[in-house]
Chain A
Amino acid sequence: MSPHGVVDRPGPFCTIQDLGRRTGRRAGLAPGGAMDQRAYLWANRLLGNDPAAAALEITLGGFALRFAVETAVALTGADCAATLDGVETGAWRTVRARPGQELRLGYSATGMRAFVAFPGGLVVPTAFGSASAVVRDGWPGLLGRPLRAGEPLRWREPARACPVRRVPRELVPPDTASLTLPLIVGYEWAEFSNADRERVFDAEWTVDPASDRTAGRLAGPALGSGPRVLDSTPLVDGTVQVTGDGLPLVFMRDRPTIGGYAKLGSVDPIALDAFAQARPGTSIRFARADPDALRRALARRERFFGIRHAP
């Protein structure tokens, strides 16, 4: 089967992602999935794809793809000054391409991750219902490694007519030098000292460069390590765990399913999207969240993007 496109340059870390692994968490599998789910969902929506269609997550840019067919793609997420045969394309839109043309992404000046979606979604292997690559879970092939130079790609409906579409400007998330993360307090929250609990909402941290797809690590004031947790506890998305050095980390898509350190609670799942785009040095604060307001926002998002959950 001849490819519909070939990745000339994958950049520092380019993986295949989708909405993540809904099943298998009970067996210890990381959820995986697009770090910035909003940007990923928009990319598929621009093309009229299924919201869970497999796409590329391109960390920091430095990416090039040569097309072998006439087709379209959608670009969202971090602005990497994308060009098609040298002509700027803009982002948060669909782009039509002809055979032989090359889509290039420069290095992003703001944001961490760009997304490229394809009509019908990439044709790639799945495990536990998802094509998301989780390197730490040790899957074979593209389920367990980043793309390499020369990687051939195929997508389901290369010839499908895709009108030029843009995400409305007011819906494109702004770049930001500071983020406030809504925090649902829980887990061992009540067992942290009063001083620590106050500090969580007063202090300012910054995103540490050691952050990755597993966790966003925060640098700044240290908390007491909190209570000793005797047995690892099941985690939810965005769980905030305080490790031995007293610094909080926010678990992201490639997180473990259970964790053994003291935990403050969890970050609003929707706020994880902006956090996934926060460059090292971005200022981070926590604010107390209303869990039911977050639940309603999650429900709105699932309705808007047409996300369905099989029982």
Chain B
Amino acid sequence: MITFPGPVSALVTLPVAPDRDGIARVLDLERFAREELPDLRTTIPAFNRLLVEGSPHSWNATDVESRLAAGAGACLAAAPGIDAGDPVSLPVCYDPELAPDLEAVAANAGVGVAEVARLHSGTTYAVLATGFAPGFAYMGDVDARIAMPRLTTPRPRVEPGSVGIADRRTGIYPAAGPGGWRLIGRVPAAFFADAAERIARFRPGGSVEFRPIDRDEYEAGGG
């Protein structure tokens, strides 16, 4: 489906699940758009959608629609060109003192906190979207056993490096701020100190692994 949310933009929603294959197909469509559409200024891939923004001097909605429709058809017909690259590996301390929802997620799953840590760190995740804040990545899919909806009322302050779960997505808060994801662990804050590094860490379609660390290693990493 193609819609036009602004005067020089088009939003394509591919009829695929918002998962690793879905974002890979969206990235295929993004490459197609970059080659086939003139004067593109911005492209934003997220989950199963692609936003393209063009120039007001050359934008022709009818032409953009027909080219994107053709491109989307080609991307759906072919196997997704997955290019996950080397996984980004991040240490996570799963400790209830650092993660206020860890025990609730464990109780909800009917397992211990160690099992939550094992299940959460036992998967290689795909980055399905970046955004919300610079350096924030929506990753999936979380094991269904530890999936939980976000809090009804967001916390006014989440500490930087907090690892959260929302349904079958996981993500890390790069900076302090309000947030409603269920917090189950913490990456040492030093990983989020440098703005440029933080912003460059995740890219849509990339892969991410979590390595459980104990409290000592967490503290040694700067807490």
Contact = CB atoms under 8 A, between A and B. Distances in A.
Interface string B84-101: 000000000000000000
A292 B136 contact: no
Given A28-B135, A186-B6, A266-B5, A234 B48 contact: no
Nearest to B30: A26
B15 to A, nearest CB: 14
Interface string B1-44: 00111111101000000100000000000000000000101111
Interface stretch (B72-80, B107-115, B124-132): B124-132
A24 interface: yes
A296 B56 contact: yes
Given A22-B41, A291-B61, A232 B11 contact: no
A199 interface: no
A136 interface: yes
Q: Kindly name the residue among B49, B51, B135 whose own CB sees the greatest number of chain A CB atoms within 10 A.
A: B51
A256 interface: yes
Interface string A249-291: 0000000111000010110110000000000000000000101
B96 to A, nearest CB: 27
A236 B47 contact: no
B131 A28 contact: yes
Q: Kindly name the residue among B41, B131, B136 whose own CB sees the greatest number of chain A CB atoms within 10 A.
A: B131
A75 to B, nearest CB: 29
Contact of B134 (A27, A140, A184): A27
A189 B129 CA distance: 23
Nearest to B55: A309
A27 B133 contact: no
A238 B6 contact: yes
A238 B43 CA distance: 17
A231 B175 contact: no
Nearest to A144: B195
Contacts of B4: 184, 186, 291
Nearest to B22: A231
Contacts of A233: 11, 46, 49, 51
A19 to B, nearest CB: 12
B59 interface: yes
A28 B134 contact: yes
Contact of B56 (A22, A186, A302): A302
Q: Kindly name the residue among A22, A27, A187, A302 whose own CB sees the greatest number of chain B CB atoms within 10 A.
A: A27
Interface string A20-41: 0010111111100000000000
A140 B175 CA distance: 13
A24 B41 contact: no
A133 to B, nearest CB: 13
B101 to A, nearest CB: 19
6 contacts: A138-B174, A231-B47, A231-B138, A232-B132, A256-B131, A266-B5
Interface of B: 3-9, 11, 18, 39, 41-51, 53, 55-57, 59, 61, 128-136, 138, 174-175, 177, 195-196, 198-200, 203-204
